[in-house]
A = this chain, B = another copy of it.
Amino acid sequence: MTVSTDLNIDRATAGNERIILSIDAMGGDKGPAAIVAGISRSARKNPDMGFILHGQAATLAPLVAKRKNLAGICEIRDVPDVVKMTDKPSQTLRTGKNTSMWSAIEAVKNGEAAACVSCGNTGALMAMSMIRLRKLPGVNRPAIGILWPSRSAHGFNVMLDVGADIRADAMDLLQYALMGVSYARNGLNLPRPRVGLLNVGTEEHKGRPELHEASELIESQANAADYEYVGFVEGGDIPGDLADVIVTDGFTGNVALKTGEGTASLISQRLREAFAYSIASRIATMLAYTSLKRFQQRIDPRRVNGGVFLGLNGTVVKSHGAADATGVAAATNLAFRLAQSGFSDRLAKRIATSTQAAAQNIAEENPTK
């Protein structure tokens, strides 16, 4: 049973309404200490932030007490169970009602918090979010969208789906495009985002049949939904400057994301080895300290940590399971920014209008279907 207490957070801040985030404090590989350290770091930069922390109070209370800046802005909600990384999503739906993850989503559902953050099991988090928050009207498959470091002027591209669902038909891919556009507008402040559809070549005859159908659909909605469609893009364009939103199915997107992370991590290791090699290069490292630091920050995947669940009634941010305090702070910052911009409501409105229009267009073009 979820033990619920009154929300004892001071809601008054310096002129603004405090934005409450619901935190699953038990998920993730590094445990509650990293999560509490992360939200504390995030709160230092955002004075309007407040938290409901879900998990075992006996573990969490001493961790919170150690962070002075969390006093008065952090409530602990005592729940006994924890979703394990190896639990099957379907199983957690049946037996997971007393978990920190379930409780964290519940606080968004009943309006106590503006967004939920979890480092836990992705499949379980998506399954619980779908059951409790429900899909937006008109959305068939929700997606996970991320910000990918890129060559573009704003420094990031939106990519989706990176793993909510391994399948996606042409209509799903259109919805991903619409959701990605909305995310790019709110998350990257781009008024008219450029959308690309991931394929194995940019020529029109290449790729799977459903991609050709999706390409036509996405092109047909560009004006109505106010984005630019640049056509097919390739893997090399994910960190490139050709498109702001990269649309793909969750299988391909997940492989691409993890390949990119793995490549970046291998290169960082090789760079460290190269600089540890000789005395001259060690002196160089000291001289180049700030440059190397700047470089590492620019490619540090922890600083852009956070996959956003798109297509639900409410904002859920999935942090990397291996996130440390820096990673948790990044995911918490992202959830805060999205909550602050009213992202969830704006996305819902956009999807409702665009999906209706698209469905109507398709029905008119294919009267026999």
Contact = CB atoms under 8 A, between A and B. Distances in A.
User: What bracket does the count of chain A residues touching chain B fall in?
Assistant: 35 or more
Contacts of A280: 287-288, 290-291
A163 interface: yes
B262 A237 contact: yes
Interface stretch (A11-19, A22-30, A223-231, A292-300): A292-300
A260 B258 contact: no
A208 B254 CA distance: 13
A81 interface: no
A237 to B, nearest CB: 7
Interface in A238-268: 238-240, 248, 250-252, 254-267
B292 A274 contact: yes
Contacts of A123: 206
Interface string A293-337: 011001100000000000000000000000000000000000000
A288 B295 contact: no
Interface in A116-156: 123, 149-151
A93 interface: no
A255 B291 contact: no
Contacts of A240: 262
A291 B266 contact: no
Contacts of A263: 239, 259-260, 263-264
A36 to B, nearest CB: 27
28 contacts: A86-B203, A151-B269, A200-B250, A200-B254, A234-B254, A234-B258, A235-B254, A235-B255, A236-B265, A240-B262, A248-B255, A251-B252, A252-B255, A255-B255, A255-B256, A256-B259, A260-B260, A267-B267, A267-B299, A270-B299, A273-B295, A274-B291, A280-B287, A281-B287, A284-B284, A284-B285, A284-B287, A284-B288
